[in-house]
Structure 1
Amino acid sequence: MDTREECIYSIALTQIPGIGHIWAKKLVDGMGSAVDVFRLRRELPERLAGVNVRVVEALDCPQALSRAEQEYEFAEKNHIRCLTLADESYPSRLRECDDAPIALFFKGNADLNSLRVINMVGTRNATDYGKQLCASFLRDLKNLCPDVLVVSGLAYGIDIHAHRAALANGLPTVGVLAHGLDRIYPSVHRKTAVDMLQKGGLLTEFPVGTVPDKHNFVSRNRIVAGMADATIVVESASKGGSLITADIAESYHRDCFAFPGRTMDISSIGCNQLIRDNKAALLLSAEDFVKAMCWDSSSMPAKAESIQRSFFPELSEEEQQIVAILDRQGNQQINTLVVETDIPVHKMNAILFELEMKGVLRVLAGGMYQLLR
């Protein structure tokens, strides 16, 4: 596949009026590439359910391709990577979400498919309590899991303090933006954004010239939630973007945690509600988090050297691949297995269930899968 061509056509598809995130991804998944969505557009109604003539007509749009070519040229000139669904560097966890962007723009050096990815979100009106939580949590997490990628939104409050705490502790951190990479918003965070390019990066689905409107921040939140193993809400009022991110994370079947606060503190109302409503697990420390996620290497069982492949002669090639990873690396979460095997998450779910029914593995707390001896 021609990478340049796929990038341009993927960008162009995002410029077609009336085709949202979900349908754009359905079209690309259904046809195998954005290039074929355009070139074989007349075949779409026959090949994909729900596609009508209006979609075919909308795709006949030279202006969208022209705009996409300009965007791609800007990206190349400014050393920005365009990541399509077909790109190995595209965040695998995000790719499996129904409304995942079909094109992302990334500037930086972080591995978006790190084995451990968290996002930290919260109120824009962070208190000293929230700022201290960001600093102490990431300091302790660095000692326990030095390879964690920290994701947030570069916004005022908890977001920027999470990024700065990550940088201070030598953790890679990625900011997901609600606008194009031709600007930094808010501008007062420019220095931190530049520092993040050295250890982390900036990621967006929006082309240059995009104004950071309110609805773009809501759209951005699904990327923050979708590319991480877990969402951590540090502080939140009764309403706010971090609660939206927590809801999205839940819809993606990702883990969600919240730090509690005093009952009368406005900045902790949202967190306390999440915990009360069982939408987020109570979080008190990095140690709590690592144990809940089963990222504690000391708690990993010894490698199951005694497992004989002959015990499982009925395993398929993909099942054997999963067993081999669990045998070699110990307990793993589904997102890690998806990244390691490149098996789509919906298919991975079915395979893991089958292995569980066969008595080959079991599910532990935190969504970890353990190979049985």
Structure 2
Amino acid sequence: MASELLYQIALSRIPQIGVVNARRLIAYTSSAEAIFKARSSELQKIPHIGPVLAQAVTQQHVLQEAASILDACLKANIQVLFYTDKVYPDRLKQIYDAPLVLYFSGSVDLNQERFLAVVGTRKATDYGKRTTQNLVAQSVGSQALFISGLAYGIDIEVHRTCMQYQIPNIAVLAGGFNHIYPAKHKQYLEALVAHGGIISEHPLHQKSDPRFFPLRNRIIAGMSDATVVVEAAEKGGALITADYANNYHREVFAIPGNLDKMFSAGCNRLIQKNKAVIYTDFDALCQQMNWVHEGQQLKPTKGLNWSRLTESETEIMALLVQNGEMNLDTIAWKLQKKVTDLAITLLNLEFQGLIKALPGYAYRLKN
């Protein structure tokens, strides 16, 4: 396993390959190690892998770099998660540009039931801070895990309030663990690891860089069932996170604000353009997301004539019988099918009265 992990890290450090081609290489070989030990002529037979990419894999310096990264992680007790690992976030596996490798330190299950991203401007107003505090406080007992970016403003207000109420929360970094940005927020790392976690797609030694912040935002959106934008100007990182969430078919909420306030303009615009549901309170969010209390499981449809279903319909129905409720991206990932290919089948099942569409692009068996 240590040997394979070394090659997995090395694969993630080849910029010419990228995540899509890396997945393609893994699919056509048996492992990351097999990729590095294959001949260039063998790799070139894989679709879209030409001589340039095949040559990139032979670079020995990436293996040396990977060995250094792995050694640093072992000494710092940092987990290295490859995208095929069971503990790698399932929600993140569903997005097309998911990181190959994540570096994680924490105490929470990255695949637990409810993940909620809360983001906003670095220049938070008193209204934004107060609204964030109320949102987190109202979530007590909901079993929601919060995720944000450890930045100034709304982000750090999320993390601080979660710590106050002992609610698990995760911070996603825009650099390596050894280069926390802003440095002032290093003081929260111990509490984050104890009651949640910190995640980065960058090795420990990597310094934060402006180009990494949008990439960080895609992880925040990709790991979450929904994203709440508290305050945002007409441009900024919070709106980038909202765009990612919309592109990933995740629900987006926005907190409305005064029309004459600069940091309400972005939220109001999201609502105006139907890119976000208006956020009023946490209970309403739970209803929109169909987040029910523990123990309220849906019963399988009785008397269902399975022989009348098509192959695609049978696959979907079997998943819903087993899991009770699933969102569209999870169904697509489980069945290894495109969302667009599933749309017609899901619609047909709705017309037959067998399933019910729910907010947040989710589906369940109809009672």
What TM-score do you get using the length of structure 2 for normalisation? 0.90
Q: How does 1:282-321 map to 2 (within 5 A)?
A: 282-297=278-293, 303-304=298-299, 307-308=302-303, 311-313=305-307, 318-319=315-316, 321=318
Matches within 5 A, 1:227-266: 227-266=223-262
Q: Which amino acid aligns with 1:57?
A: Q
2:153 is equivalent to residue 157 of structure 1? yes
Structure 1 residues 272, 351: CA separation in 2 closer, same or farther (over 3 Å shift)?
Answer: closer
Paired residue for 2:81?
A: 83
User: Quick check: 1:199 aligned with 2:198?
Assistant: no
Contact 1:105–1:204 at 8 Å: present in 2 too? Answer: yes
How large is the Cα RMSD of the aligned pairs? 2.5
Change in Cα spacing, 1:333 to 1:61, as seen in structure 2 (3 Å) is: same
Letter in 1 for 2:275: K
- Matched residues, percent identical? 35
The aligned counterpart of 1:100 is 98
Q: Does the Cα contact within 8 Å between 1:356 and 1:362 map onto a contact in 2?
A: no
1:129 aligned residue: 127
- Correspondence list, 1:1-373, <5 A: 2=1, 4-31=2-29, 33-40=31-38, 42=40, 43-48=42-47, 50-143=48-141, 145=142, 147-297=143-293, 303-304=298-299, 307-308=302-303, 311-313=305-307, 318-319=315-316, 321-326=318-323, 329=324, 331-334=325-328, 343=334, 346=337, 354=345, 356-358=347-349, 359=352, 360-373=354-367
> Deviation at 1:245?
0.8
Alpha-carbon shift at residue 41 of structure 1 (Å) = 5.5
- Mapped partners of 2:246, 2:339: distance in 1: 19
Task: Please give the secondary structure, in 1, of the residue aligned with 2:220.
Answer: helix
Unaligned runs of 5+ in 1: none
SS at match of 1:107: strand
Distance 1:118 1:303, change over 3 A: closer
Cα separation, 2, equivalents of 1:73 and 1:24: 23
Shift of 1:89: 0.6
**CA deviation vs aligned residue, 1:138-186 (integer Å, no higher than 9, x gap):** 111224x1x1111111111111111112222222101010111223221
Deviation at 1:197, TM superposition (A): 0.6
AA aligned opposite 2:198: L
- Spell out structure 1 runs of 4+ moving beyond 6 A: none
Aligned-partner residue type, residue 360 of structure 2: G
- Displacement after TM superposition at 1:353 (Å): 5.3
Determine if contact 1:25/1:100 at 8 Å carries over to the other structure.
no
Whether contact under 8 Å (1:259, 1:282) holds in the other structure is yes
Segment of structure 1 superposing worse, 232-241 or 134-143: 134-143
Contact 1:229 1:335 in 2 (8 A): no
**Distance in 1 between residues matched to 2:250 and 2:336, nearest whole Å:** 12
Q: Deviations over 1:253-303 (max 9, x none)?
A: 1111110110111111111111111111111111221111111449x6x74
Q: How many pairs does the alignment contain?
A: 360
Deviations 1:88-133 (CA, angstroms, capped at 9, x unpaired): 0101111121111101000001111111111111100111111111
- Structure 1 position 348, deviation (Å): 7.6
The alignment partner of 1:203 has SS state of: strand
TM-score, length basis structure 1: 0.88
Q: Could you tell me which amino acid in structure 1 is paired with residue 359 of structure 2?
A: A
CA distance in 1: counterparts of 2:94 and 2:38, whole angstroms: 24
* Cα displacement (A) at 1:343: 1.4
Letter paired with 2:321: A
Where structure 2 has 5 or more consecutive residues not aligned to the other structure, the ranges are none
User: In the TM superposition, what whole-angstrom CA distance separates every residue of 1:21-54 from its partner, at most 9, and x where no partner exists?
Assistant: 4433443345453223322353232222x22101
Q: Which residue identity lines up with residue 7 of structure 1 in the other structure?
A: L
AA in 2 matched with 1:73: D
Deviations 1:307-344 (A, max 9, x none): 135x2245667445413235xx4x44345667xxx715
Work out the CA distance in 1 between the residues paired with 2:239 and 2:176. Answer: 24
